[in-house]
Amino acid sequence: MPLDAWITCFAASWIFSLSPGSGSVFSMSNGLNYGFKRGYLGAVGLVLGLWAVFLVVVVGLGVIIQASPIAFNVLKWAGVAYLFYLGLAQWLSKGSPITLREGDKPKIGIFEIIGKGVSLNLINPKGYIFMLAVIPQFIVAGHSLAPQYVAVALTFAFTDLVVMAGYTGLASRVALRLKTEKQVGVLNKVFGSLFMLAAVVLATFQQAG
C-alpha cells in the first residue's frame, strides 16, 4: 500500500474508533463491571468481529447485504434486538458495591466476554455499510490487493484496540470509586440506557442508496 494511502487510512481509522457508538459503550460497561484486565478482552472480541465484517465485505457478501432489502433488514433487526437485550440486561442488573480487590468484581468467562464483542460487531449492519463505503477509498488500483486489505484490517484493529483500552480503563477507574450499591446501580442504568438508545438509533438507520 502506498504511504499516502496508508496515512489516509490511519487518520480515518482513528476517527472511526473514537466516534461514540455501541463499541465504546460496550467497552466502558465491561471496564465498570469487570475491571480493566478482564473487561479489555471485550475489545479483543470487537476487533475479531470487525475482521469478520471486513472479510465478508472483501469477499463480496457485503454487496449482497447492500443490494438485498431482505438481507439488510434481517441483519438490521437482529442488531436492534441484540443491542436492546444488552441494554435491558444492564438496566436490570443489580448494583454491587465495588471494592479495591479485583477478585470481588463480577465474574464473566473469557470466551463469553470475547463472544459478546464479536457478536456486537457481526450483527451491526452499519458496520457492513461503513466498510463497503470506506475500504475502496484506501485501495490503489494496479497494486496487489491482498497486502492492501491486510494493511487496512491491521490499521483499524490497532486504533480500535488503543481507543477501547482508553474507554475500558477510564470506566474501571471510575468503578473503583463506587462504594454503594445505589451508585453502581445508577451507572448500570446509564449504560443500559445508552445501549437501548443505540438500538433505537439502529432501528431508524436507513440504508444509503
pLDDT tens string 161-191: 998 988 888 777 765 565 566 766 777 787 7
Highest mean pLDDT among 42-56, 95-109, 117-131: 42-56
The SS3 call for residue 135 is helix
Instruction: Answer left, alpha or beta for residue 60, where phi above 0 means left and psi between -120 and 50 means alpha.
Output: left
How close are the terminal C-alpha atoms of the chain, in Å? 29
pLDDT per residue as tens digits for the range 4-22: 778 878 887 887 777 656 7
Place of cell 477478585: 103
pLDDT per residue as tens digits for the range 56-92: 888 775 565 566 767 766 766 777 787 788 778 878 8
Which candidate, 83, 65, 81, 69, places its Cα nearest to that of 125? 65
The answer to pTM > 0.75 is no
